[in-house]
Amino acid sequence: MNAILGQVGVALGLLSAITGAVALLGGLLFRNDAWLRAAPGTVWGVLAGALLATGAMEHALVTHDFSLAYVADNNSRETPLLYSVTGLWAALQGSILLWALVLSGYLAIMGHRYRARVTDRLVATALLSALVVTIFFFGLISGPANPFVTVAGRPPLDGLGPNALLQDNPLIAFHPVFLYLGFVGLTIPFSFAIGALVTGRLGEGWLVETRRFTLVAWAFLTVGIVMGAWWSYQVLGWGGFWAWDPVENAALLPWLCGTAYLHSVMIQERRGLLRVWNLALLVSAFSLTILGTFLTRSGVLVSVHTFSDSSAVGPSLLGFFGLVVASGVGLIAWRGDRLASPGSIDSPISREGAFLVNNLLFAAFAVVVLLGTVFPLLVQALDNQQVTVGTPYFDSIAVPLGLALLFFMAIAPALPWRASSLAVLRQRMLGPVSFGVLVIAACVAAGVRGLTPLAAFGLGAVAGGSALRQIVLATASSQRAGTGAWRGIVGRANGGMVVHIGVVLVAVSLASATSYGHRAEFTLRPGQSVSYEGHRIEYVGSHPFHQPNRSGIVSAVRVDGAVFHPAISDYPGYEGIGTPAVDSSIRDDVYLTVNGVASNGAGSATIGVVEQPMVMWLWVGGVLTALGALLAAFPARRRRRDSPWEGRVAQRGSLPGMDRAEMAELSGEAARVAAGVAE
């Protein structure tokens, strides 16, 4: 029954998507508005089909229906309920089904939101593009990635169970889902970009339609990447959170392109510049999500993050990736004569100039990561040789690029649009730079050494101070306008400053943890303790444990009086899987693993200890970054032209802490808001 319901759901979703695409294509070709108006209704059939198929698969997993090959391969009777549910994305076929479900949700939102405007050719073409992507993924799950294939002969009495790494931490319930919400969400802005290129509507109007979709997708992708780092930290037992693994890189690449786009799109909205660049960034971001899915789910890579063997889905994904890239590049080339910008950047000392350099750095970062990720595959394809690109390659490029990005993150918010002068920049940056100097001096006085981490701490302080300055000014202006101080963190510009503070926390945490971490091993008898990096570590003892899905040895280790329990577990088909334990504080983390212990738990044990400062701030910064993105997506309150705030500014000439150029800029922004041009 689960197989039948699943197949019906897939067929319903696929047929609904095809029907909608045909209606839109026919309506566009024959200028039939009735067909165009009928198309948005088909998205509900797509969503219903995806929900039915997903519900059937989840029911099969929870009830252990081993007549489905997917369930037999990725579930067992001993699998806990949580990991039975998450089995949906434990392997290739289920993860493609999850992609189709998320895409159907975004498609339904898109169809509902623009149902009254679907006769607009740009909107209709964008919806058609999204439906084409939907048809491709439903085609995958009805063909090479079909999760509802039944086993031949009599179903087994029990299944193989999921990979041990996928049933060792509850984070597996969230990390892939957030990644997919980010990956798939980029379909909508990509579709509008294609719509603008096809219809020739290449002004700035389509950007408004995609702004919040992009921000929301970027926020989900940010959370997904941070959760992936946390999962790696909590599960893999090596004490790190980022190893430049190819699958990690596959998630980072669209994030880098999306981040660049969110900066450069503001230049296009205000000045009409960088039109080709922004279209290229959207095409790149979406293309890289397809490439990332190919790398993750085709079996071409050996990684702790890949849980799929080689499959026929690989050529399909690679072919679709090539089609997306060729279509995007071809359309941009076709419309090249109409994409010329009406002006140019007036001065390098301006916000446009800083954003442009910022974009070039993000693009360079993405190119370096892409080359390091695909180079081994190219060598293997051409010479049949196994090569690896290690961490030193990525670090040698990422560190200077990261420091440069922190620098421009610091000065960009202080620069006005169009043109400025060094005197204005010096005046606005006096406070943040002074704060950065004080931070470096305090670090040196405390005994902190190392040019790279000190540079990161100093630039981070300057960037954080610059962002905080902007938030304080925005809060003051909102308070004077009578709209409430909290409005100082709402809206694209103000939410962006919250994002900057979150990124600073991530950068400082990374610099601290990677530069000043320590690791050691201690072989201790029960009751024996050692002092390590300011912590008292005592081995209490170990004992065997048995659970329905695993068994092993769990140890008790006391760190500064609190007891933690690292373990070694054996799962069916997987032995010696370590489960670390972490003593986390705002100052540092003490990361504990059991590297050797007698099978009965008696006698001495070898305890691995990793001490790393400021790791907690990595997770705090990630959450703050995502929160800032959502605040940026939240609409700022519209001000009237005769608002008390504007009158007060006109009378006084400035607000406290604000120079005349900034006052004029905020006053102009208020006028645009009142006219309904800005947020």
Query: Each residue of 221-280: pLDDT tens digit?
Result: 999 999 999 999 998 888 888 989 888 999 999 999 999 999 988 888 888 888 899 999
Residues with Cβ < 8 Å from 589, sequence gap 6 or more? 513, 582, 583, 610, 611, 612, 613, 615, 616
Q: Among 340, 354, 156, which Cα is nearest to 264's?
A: 354
pLDDT at residue number 485: 60
Q: Could you give the CA distance from residue 614 to residue 509 in angstroms, rounded to a whole number?
A: 5
- Do residues 576 and 615 touch, judged by C-beta distance below 8 A? no
- C-alpha 113/C-alpha 356 separation (Å) is 33
Residue 360 identity (one-letter amino acid): L
Helices vs. strands in the chain: H and E counts, helices first: 21, 10
| CA angle centred on 492, ends 487 and 494, rounded to 5° | 45
**Tokens found for residue 573:** 């088909």
Which residues are CB-neighbours of 649 under 8 A, at least 6 positions away? 655, 663, 666, 667
In the predicted model, is pLDDT for residue 150 greater than 80? yes
Do 53 and 141 form a contact (C-beta atoms < 8 A)?
yes
pLDDT of 488: 66
How confident is the model over 302-328, as a mean pLDDT?
A: 78
| pLDDT tens, position by position, 329-362 | 999 999 988 887 777 777 778 888 888 999 999 9
- What average pLDDT score do residues 284-311 get? 73
pLDDT of residue 300: 65
- In which band, very low, low, confident or very high, does the pLDDT at 299 lie, cut at 50, 70 and 90? low
pLDDT digits (tens, 9 = 90+) for 638-669: 544 433 333 443 343 344 444 455 554 444 44
Instruction: Give the three-state DSSP class for 150.
Output: strand
Q: Give the model's pLDDT for residue 510.
A: 94
Token pair recorded at residue 241:
């959170």
Q: pLDDT, tens digit, for every residue of 491-540?
A: 778 889 999 999 999 999 999 999 999 999 999 999 999 999 999 999 99
The reported pLDDT for the residue numbered 679 is 32
Q: What span, in angstroms and rounded, lies between the C-alpha atoms of 133 and 411?
A: 40
Average pLDDT across the chain, whole number: 87
The pLDDT tens digits for 53-79 are 999 999 999 999 999 999 999 999 999
pLDDT in tens, 202-218: 876 777 778 889 999 99
> In this predicted model, which residue has the larger pLDDT, 550 or 50?
50
The candidate with the shortest Cα–Cα distance to 549, out of 77, 172, 158, is 77
532 and 611 Cβ atoms separated by less than 8 Å: yes
Q: pLDDT for 110-142, tens place per residue? A: 999 999 999 999 999 999 999 999 999 999 999
Looking at this protein, which amino acid is placed at residue 5? Answer: L
With a cut of 70, say whether residue 670 has pLDDT above it. no
First to last CA, the chain: 50
Alpha helix ranges (H) inside 482-564: 492-516
> What's the pLDDT at 380?
75
Give the rounded percent of residues in the chain with a pLDDT score beyond 70. Answer: 89
How many whole angstroms separate alpha carbon 479 and alpha carbon 80? 52
Please give the torsion angle defined by the CA atoms of residues 101, 107, 113 and 116, in that order, rounded to the nearest 10 degrees. -140
What the block records as the tokens of 59 is 């029911």
Task: Determine the distance from the C-alpha atom of residue 602 to the mean position of all C-alpha atoms in its chain, rounded to a whole number.
Answer: 45
Q: Is 570 helix (H, G, I), strand (E, B) or coil?
A: strand
The alpha-helical segments, DSSP class H, found in 63-186 are: 69-74, 81-85, 92-113, 121-141, 175-185
The confidence score (pLDDT) of residue 654 equals 41
* CA nearest to 626, candidates 54, 42, 220: 220
- What's the pLDDT at 68? 97
Q: What is the 3-state secondary structure (H, E, C) of 325-368?
A: HHHHHHHHHHCHHHCCCCCCCCCCCCHHHHHHHHHHHHHHHHHH
What pLDDT sits at residue 486?
65
Mean pLDDT of 566-579: 89
Quick one: DSSP state of residue 637?
Answer: P
> In the structure encoding, which two tokens stand for residue 284, read together?
């790149």
Is there a contact between 555 and 541 (Cβ–Cβ < 8 Å)?
A: yes
Q: Please write the tens of the pLDDT for every residue from 394-435.
A: 999 999 999 999 999 999 888 887 777 778 888 889 999 999
Residue 600 clears pLDDT 70, i.e. is over it: no
pLDDT digits (tens, 9 = 90+) for 79-105: 999 999 999 998 889 999 999 999 999
Position 386 confidence tier, pLDDT thresholds 50, 70, 90 = confident
pLDDT at 481: 67
